[in-house]
Amino acid sequence: MENRRIIKYILIFIIFILPFNFILAYSDTTTHPALTDEIIDLFNHYYPDLKISDQEKALIKKGSTDEDIAPRWMQHFYDPIYNRGLVLVKPITYQP
């Protein structure tokens, strides 16, 4: 009887919990810059008069990586009712 109980818990672990250990979010060092690169290429294709330079492209790609440095990632969330992001941390002001 006790062995059945242990086997039951092991099966539950294998079926329901173990698969989630292999799920990863998109990488902020590869996916974000790659998406940004493609978006800028698409923008430059459709708006050649407003073309984004390679230097500006590099800065925008750096920003897409830096946006996930703690605690900035907290600002990803947006509340359209109050027109603000997640306010669990003090807002970060940009200083060039």
The answer to whether residue 22 sits within a structural domain is: yes
The answer to whether residue 94 sits within a structural domain is: no
Owning domain of residue 71: 2-85
Q: Which amino acid is at 96?
A: P
The answer to whether residue 15 sits within a structural domain is: yes
The answer to whether residue 96 sits within a structural domain is: no
pLDDT along the chain (96 residues), means of 10: 71 65 65 91 96 95 84 70 66 56
Helix axes 31-46, 54-66, angle to 10 degrees: 140
pTM of the model: 0.55
H helices then E strands: how many in the chain?
Answer: 3, 2
Give the number of domains in the chain.
1
CB burial of residue 29 (10 Å; 0-12, 13-18, 19+): exposed
The answer to whether residue 70 sits within a structural domain is: yes
State the Cα angle at 82 between 72 and 70, rounded to 5°. Answer: 10
The answer to whether residue 53 sits within a structural domain is: yes
